[in-house]
Amino acid sequence: MPFYYMDYWYVIFVIPPMLLAIWASFNVNSTFKKYSKVTNRYGLTGAEAARKILDKNGLYNVRVERVAGNLTDHFDPKSNVIRLSESVHDSNSVAAVGVAAHEAGHAVQYAEDYTPMKIRGSLVGVANIGSSAGIYLAIFGIILTMPLLSYIGIGLFCAVVAFQLVTLPVEFNASSRALVALEQGYLSEEEMKGTRKVLRAAALTYVAALLSAIGNLLRLIMLVNGRNRD
């Protein structure tokens, strides 16, 4: 199989979503930076916003902690804790409050057994394997002329696509919950505009991740099919 054949599918399926992912990452960082300079009228910090939303939903047992890094915010269901980055935990910007509220939304999802979140959780293990080994198995199968190995690699990488796909409703719903909560007296309508833009920019990174996974999967399928025809 000539090398240009491989590069052809890479250019078509992998490079475009890769460029989108790069732009989405730049966009979310620049948008967060912009609105991290806009303070909210009540001086509410990210940690305080998360705590208020948690308490309003009866989640008094979920802790809110500070974690190092920039935009490393996440909800850890195993430890029952929301970890907010240094730029969010103590900041009273509309950007920080939006990010913190989003993570609180994940905690509420978990408490309510939100179905897409449960599905995503069940896919974590196989998706991690598919992400680290799927592409290599498929490529090695092509090189070694072992179609079965290639199909196993493709099958594993399908789990990556499934994980990214179910991530979209999980993330979109968490942002929706965050916005509804913040509209209830925490931020003014003008402040909400900045928060919406931050959460919208963050959502685009998950769309880009899904498109990247789909692009890689399509490339693998075309490579394996092309090799089999040869």
Q: Is the pLDDT of residue 1 over 50?
A: no
**Residue 103 annotated to the active site:** yes
Q: Are 35 and 194 in contact (CB under 8 A)?
A: yes
Sign of dihedral through CA atoms 188, 191, 195, 201?
Answer: positive
For residue 93, what are the β-bridge partners? 39
The mean per-residue pLDDT over the stretch 71-76 comes to 96
Q: Which helix (H) or strand (E) holds 95?
A: helix 94-111
CB 162 within 8 A of CB 123: yes
Tell whether the model's pLDDT for residue 65 goes beyond 70. yes
pLDDT of amino acid 176: 98
Token readout for 208 is 């880009």
CA-closest candidate to residue 48, choices 107, 113, 96: 96
- The model's pLDDT over 132-151, given as tens digits with 9 standing for 90+, comes to 999 999 999 988 989 999 99
Give yes or no for residue 47 having a pLDDT over 80.
Answer: yes
**b/e map 79-105, b = 16+ CB within 10 Å:** eebbbbbebbbebbbbbbbbbbbbbbb
Domain ranges of the chain: 3-229
Res. 86 pLDDT band, cuts 50 70 90:
very high
pTM of the model: 0.92
Cα separations (Å) of 151 from 93, 126, 135, 162, 174? 49, 15, 10, 16, 35
Query: Which residue is catalytic, options 48, 103, 171, 191?
Result: 103
In whole angstroms, give the CA distance from residue 82 to residue 72. 11
Burial 125-146 (b: 16+ CB within 10 A, else e): ebbeebbeebbebbbebbeeee
- Long-range own/partner contacts, residues 113-119 (CB < 8 A, 24 or more apart): 114/170, 114/173, 116/166, 116/169, 116/170, 116/173, 117/170, 119/166
Amino acid 109: pLDDT: 98
| Per-residue model confidence (pLDDT) at position 3 | 42
